[in-house]
Structure 1
């Protein structure tokens, strides 16, 4: 009974050691007697000879490689930055990558290419540009340079993200002072524009009053004045209050009864 149990255990160990599970987001690469098989292993359980063959698993999902890198600027300053490199491996290239580069391809290829690309791109920009809206242009340019060197080697660079930028202390203060000065200038410009609009409103109002008075003056003919006087006489004649009216025939001058004693 004991020999059977040992035999079963031995068979189970051999069976388990000859199985490899390739998970989702991975491909398997077989190395048999030191030679790479160009055909990749798909997801699932794969049977192989553990004595002659080894299965190397290569992730094909998106990988986030975080790097802290100094960025040289156009004026010769060094800007510290934390960068995320989002990349993935093309599954069909996995055997070639294992054969020509090895499983440590991130340190062997991707990081050196990134450091070369970031030095080339960042040196075209001033340090202040890395802290403004031009950051997206820098990220896009670094990605394009990396893709030029890596696309034929089976790597797809999805994004290069500058997560944080640490400018030199003196430059940070200068940028803050400049932004504060720009805000003050914009605020003053707003005040000046508002004053100009108010002055323009007053000019328009004065011109309107002047034009109205000119129209009234031009319309006050002797006949119109006499007509208005007649209207006034008619209204006064219907009033129940006692009053004294002195007139030259053109315009009335009214005095209350109590003022003529």
Structure 2
């Protein structure tokens, strides 16, 4: 468009400014030709529109949006239309309590009230993209700032509307996955009606009030202590059972010895034991038996 205007300006100059007394008068024909060439080049350039990879283009002529989209590559268009490009790749919108981590400066986490009236702070990331065929509808009904007009408010509202059905502790632990699925479904429906596609929803962090967090930690510590005590008691019980079995075995052994062995068996066992002593390298003389019939074993 700029070249067309420039060419028209050159042509006008050649007709009205360059006159017979002007030093440029003899070149007015050439100037006029240059003007027409510039107009032609401007028209050709305006008819060619390059759309980058990952984008689509939406044509607008005098405020009217064309339903046909321009895809990536070189496209021939009416030189009078305006082309607005839309990014159709996956986009990430994060709301976080950590400074400089989200899309907005400062603490941008979502603060909600749970079913038990406690304030819970939620960090969230939304992965979404523009449907290529819906780009003209988005431009006509929302505009190019669809993130601030659709993505952010719908997401924050869905979080708050669904959080009131859960207790704070449930959001933090047991019901977190269920909560994430519910808000995913809510947001996906809202996005679909506005030309956006929700790809993934990530509840990155759930922060409880300090008092609730302390109570949870205290409960966990108590449960761990109870489990530890149960383990100790089980171990002591097993040890007591082992000692009982050992004592019973000793008692049974002594009972067998006291009732089942004769004097001759005891004498035989004594001889075996004394023989082992006699075989020791430190043994000199061993006397076995009573004084009447002694048995003498000599050693080294």
TM-score, L = length of structure 1:
0.76
- Report the more deviating stretch, 73-82 or 30-39: 30-39
Figure out how many residues of one structure are paired with residues of the other and give that number: 248
How well do the aligned residues superpose, as a CA RMSD in angstroms? 3.5
Q: Tell me the alpha carbon deviations over residues 66-86 of structure 1, each in whole angstroms, 9 at most, x when there is no partner.
A: 233112211112222221111
SS in 2 for 1:108: helix
Contact 2:55 2:72 in 1 (8 A): yes
Find out whether 1:206 has 2:247 as its counterpart.
yes
- Greater relative contact order (CA < 8 Å, ≥ 6 in sequence): 1
Q: How does 1:229-240 map to 2 (within 5 A)?
A: 229-230=267-268, 232=270
Q: 1:64 corresponds to which residue?
A: 92
Alpha-carbon distance in structure 2 between the residues aligned to 1:207 and 1:50: 106
Distance in 1 (CA, whole Å) between partners of 2:45 and 2:141 is: 30
Cα distance in 2, alignment partners of residues 230 and 185 from structure 1? 58
Question: Structure 1: how far apart are the matches of 2:253 and 2:214?
Answer: 58
SS at match of 2:285: coil
Give the superposition deviation at 1:141: 1.9
The Cα offsets for residues 117-155 of structure 1, whole Å up to 9 and x where unpaired, read as 211221122222333354333222211221233334432
1:6-17 matches, cutoff 5 A? 8-17=37-46
Could you say if the C-alpha distance between residues 152 and 5 of structure 1 is closer, same or farther in structure 2, counting changes exceeding 3 Å?
same
Counterpart of 1:241 in structure 2 is 285
Deviates more, 1:88-97 or 1:202-211: 202-211
Is 1:174 aligned to 2:215, yes or no? yes
* Structure 2 unpaired stretches of 5+: 1-29, 96-108, 279-283, 296-300
Distance 1:199 1:34, change over 3 A: same
CA distance in structure 1 between the partners assigned to 2:268 and 2:231 by the alignment:
56
Equivalent residue for 2:160? 119
Where 2:290 maps in the other structure, the secondary structure is strand
Kindly report which structure 2 residues correspond to 1:89-238, keeping only aligned pairs within 5 A, or say none: 89-132=130-173, 134-217=175-258, 220-222=260-262, 225-230=263-268, 232=270
- Structure 1 window deviating more from structure 2 (200-209 vs 60-69): it is 200-209
The answer to whether residue 64 in structure 2 is matched with residue 35 in structure 1 is yes
- TM normalised by structure 2 equals 0.68
Cα separation, 2, equivalents of 1:46 and 1:169: 59
After TM superposition, give the deviation of residue 221 of structure 1 in Å: 4.6
